[in-house]
């Protein structure tokens, strides 16, 4: 009888344990976990011939034609633009300016491109055979970190103090008076209803109807990626945010190599989502990270990058083919962009940690219940035993 009681109690503990596995993991992750790590190489280094360069941006207009912008040596200027017309098999110098630092490329069509520099923008209307210099913007030495065109006539750029707009294809640029924030546009995005900007200190929005700018998020960053008008992601050196309703940005837990973070920031630089599920992050602590499930889980992909190097920009043609660029002349290519690598942690609130805690708590509760159950049974056995008369 006592043996049967223990067996029933153990069965209860096992049921509780299995229930915890079923309850915690799917609830917090939303997915079924596959292998946590693979040794498959995801990204390959492409020879750049510029070992000291900082390549800040990479973009393609189709699978064949692409451009990279940066500077020959970080901190010393010498702006350079590289071009490929054979899907990145070879890259050649298309434009060089020793007094510039090129930071961003804006593609209007396969012939018309703009590049942001120091106090000036440079543009081409023939695919890069000839690069033209725009009118002076700001003081002439102000860093223009970004340029964005909605179409061939309407565009935006920013100095340290002012936001500028053009309505004549960049022939002239006017200060936007409604921009009252002391912030610099690091990334500009145009939606169907308005303009989004991320700067050093926040994320801002202005609808085309109102023309009034308002701050929508109180943390700044480097880059934004929009899936559609409602859903978007934003990153900064120590920030990751998401918008799902077209209005409100919410901070996300940073994916990192260990659950305790560290004394240094992860230094994220760019983010790219090609649909609701598939997205990539690039930076320094984790050069390239990938999510297959809309940010529930992030995986570090294998990339031949030095530990102190920082990847600055990423561009994806689709789920498998893409490019990334950064410091030390890094030009990386992938044909396996959806490879699941080593799983990154999302702090102490990571779903795995919550699962372990949940399992442990339920296990402890089960053990306590089992001990109390056994103790009660013992007491009942003792009290039910017939008394013995020793006289």
Classify the C-alpha dihedral 137-138-139-144 as positive or negative: negative
Q: Residue 47's pLDDT is what?
A: 85
Q: Residue 25's pLDDT is what?
A: 44
To the nearest whole percent, how much of the chain has pLDDT over 90?
65
User: Does pLDDT of 361 surpass 70?
Assistant: no
Please state the domain extents for the chain.
Answer: 2-33+350-381, 44-340
Q: Name the phi and psi angles at 7, rounded to 5.
A: -60, -40
Residue 177 vs residues 139, 211, 372: alpha-carbon distances, Å = 17, 10, 73
Q: Name the phi and psi angles at 181, rounded to 5.
A: -90, 135
Q: What is d(CA 46, CA 24) in angstroms, rounded to the nearest whole number? A: 43
pLDDT digits (tens, 9 = 90+) for 25-71: 444 444 434 434 455 678 999 988 899 999 999 999 999 999 999 99
pLDDT digits (tens, 9 = 90+) for 150-180: 999 999 999 988 999 999 999 999 999 999 9
- What does the H/E/C string look like for 141-189? CCECCCEEECCCCCEEEECCCCEEEECCCCCCCEECCCCCCCCCCCEEE
Q: Residue 141's pLDDT is what?
A: 67
Rg (CA), the chain: 28
Q: What is d(CA 114, CA 148) in angstroms, rounded to the nearest whole number? A: 8
Q: Name the phi and psi angles at 10, rounded to 5.
A: -65, -35
pLDDT digits (tens, 9 = 90+) for 181-212: 999 999 999 999 999 999 999 999 999 989 89
Please identify which residue in the block is written with the tokens 């120091």. 118
**Pairing, β 147-149 against β 132-133:** unpaired
DSSP letter, residue 197: E
191 in Cβ contact with 226 (< 8 Å): yes
Please identify which residue in the block is written with the tokens 């649909």. 275
Q: Residue 23's pLDDT is what?
A: 46
Element (H, E) at 333: strand 331-334
268 in Cβ contact with 310 (< 8 Å): no
Q: What is d(CA 37, CA 22) in angstroms, rounded to the nearest whole number? A: 22
Q: Residue 261's pLDDT is what?
A: 74
What dihedral do alpha carbons 31, 34, 36, 42 form, nearest 10°? -100
User: Does pLDDT of 9 surpass 90?
Assistant: no
Tell which CATH classification among 1.10.3720.10, 3.90.170.10, 2.130.10.10, 3.40.50.2300 matches the domain 44-340.
2.130.10.10
Mean pLDDT (whole number) for 61-86 = 92
Nearest to 152 by CA among 135, 134, 170, 138: 170
Nearest to 162 by CA among 119, 191, 104: 119
Q: Residue 306's pLDDT is what?
A: 83
Kindly give the residue spans of alpha helices, DSSP state H, lying in the chain. Answer: 2-29, 351-384
If pLDDT is split at 50, 70 and 90, which confidence band does 138 have?
confident
Q: Compute the mean pLDDT over every residue in the chain, rounded to the nearest whole number.
A: 85
Q: What is d(CA 78, CA 204) in angstroms, rounded to the nearest whole number? A: 32
Q: What is d(CA 70, CA 101) in angstroms, rounded to the nearest whole number? A: 6
């Amino acid at each position: 009888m006592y043996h049967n009681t223990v067996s029933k109690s153990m069965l209860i503990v096992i049921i509780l344990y299995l229930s915890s596995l079923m309850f915690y993991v799917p609830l917090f992750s939303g997915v079924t976990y596959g292998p946590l790590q693979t040794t498959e190489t995801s990204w390959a280094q492409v020879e750049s011939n510029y070992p000291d360069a900082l390549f800040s941006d990479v973009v393609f207009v189709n699978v064949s034609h692409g451009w990279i912008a940066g500077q020959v040596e970080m901190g010393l200027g010498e702006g350079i633009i590289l071009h490929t017309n054979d899907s990145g098999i070879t890259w050649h110098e298309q434009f060089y300016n020793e007094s510039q630092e090129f930071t961003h490329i804006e593609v209007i069509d396969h012939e018309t491109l703009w590049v942001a520099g120091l106090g000036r923008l440079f543009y081409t209307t023939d695919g890069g055979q000839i690069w033209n210099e725009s009118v002076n913007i700001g003081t002439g030495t102000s860093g223009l970190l970004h340029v964005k065109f909605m179409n061939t006539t309407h565009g935006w750029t920013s100095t340290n103090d002012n936001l500028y707009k053009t309505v004549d294809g960049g022939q002239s640029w006017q200060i936007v008076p409604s921009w009252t924030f002391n912030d610099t546009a690091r990334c500009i995005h145009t939606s169907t209803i308005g303009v989004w900007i991320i700067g050093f200190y926040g994320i801002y929005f202005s609808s085309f109807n109102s023309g009034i700018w308002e701050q929508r998020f109180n943390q700044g960053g480097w880059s934004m990626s929009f899936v559609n008008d409602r859903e978007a992601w934003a990153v900064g050196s120590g920030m990751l945010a998401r918008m799902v309703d077209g209005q409100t940005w919410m901070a996300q837990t940073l994916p990192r190599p260990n659950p305790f973070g560290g004394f240094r920031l992860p230094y994220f630089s760019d983010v790219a989502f090609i649909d609701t599920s598939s997205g990539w992050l690039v930076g320094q602590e984790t050069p390239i990270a990938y999510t297959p499930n809309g940010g529930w889980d992030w995986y570090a992909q294998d990339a031949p990058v030095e530990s102190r190097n920082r990847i600055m920009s990423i561009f994806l043609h689709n789920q498998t083919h893409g490019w990334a660029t950064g410091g030390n002349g890094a030009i990386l290519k992938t044909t396996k962009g959806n490879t699941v690598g080593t799983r990154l942690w999302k702090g102490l609130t990571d779903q795995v940690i919550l699962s372990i805690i949940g399992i442990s708590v339920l296990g402890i509760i089960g053990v306590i219940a089992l001990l109390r159950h056994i103790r009660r049974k013992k007491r009942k056995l003792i009290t039910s035993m017939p008394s013995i008369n020793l006289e």
